[in-house]
């Protein structure tokens, strides 16, 4: 007895598992992307001030509790801050900088940093705070 059974193979791609895997990967990347952003740890003061609206990404200057100065993520001394900012803003039309200073840092040190920034030619200086609870 011979049976004449013709088995045909399915040549279509099963897309459902592929879509499931891609959606899981998308969710994983969406959740982990904000965690990958690093920064300098600063305990900001709290105020009732409104948020600043900017046209482009401003340069961020951070002063931590130890008195260390960071321009974006790069540590530097107060003496070299002015020349570095001048170089960065040399060809920028909008000279805007945001200062993040720890609330426990002495007021005089923050004023010295602000004076150095203004001497470097920055026209807009914003200060970052946290909203009151």
Q: How many CB atoms lie within 10 A of CB 53?
A: 5
pLDDT tens, position by position, 5-63: 677 777 777 888 889 999 999 998 888 877 665 555 666 566 665 555 555 677 889 99
Q: Of 54, 60, 69, which Cα lies nearest the Cα of 37?
A: 60
Domain residue spans of the chain: 46-131
pLDDT, position 48: 64
- Predicted TM-score (pTM) of this structure: 0.58
Q: Decide if domain 46-131 falls under CATH 3.30.420.270.
A: yes
pLDDT class of 93 with cuts at 50, 70, 90: confident
98 and 126 in contact (C-beta within 8 Å)? yes
Percent of the chain residues past pLDDT 90, beyond the cut: 14
């Amino acid at each position: 007895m011979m049976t004449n059974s013709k088995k045909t193979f399915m040549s279509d791609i099963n897309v459902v598992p592929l879509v499931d895997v891609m959606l899981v990967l998308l969710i994983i990347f969406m959740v982990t992307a904000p965690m990958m952003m690093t920064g300098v740890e600063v305990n900001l003061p709290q105020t009732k001030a409104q948020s600043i609206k900017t046209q482009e990404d401003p340069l961020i200057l951070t002063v931590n509790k130890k008195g260390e100065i960071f321009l974006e993520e790069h540590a530097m001394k107060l003496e070299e801050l002015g020349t570095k900012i001048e170089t960065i803003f040399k060809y920028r039309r909008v000279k805007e900088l945001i200062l993040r200073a720890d609330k426990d840092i002495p007021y005089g040190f923050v004023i010295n940093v602000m004076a150095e920034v203004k001497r470097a030619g920055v026209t807009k200086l914003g200060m970052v705070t946290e909203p009151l609870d």
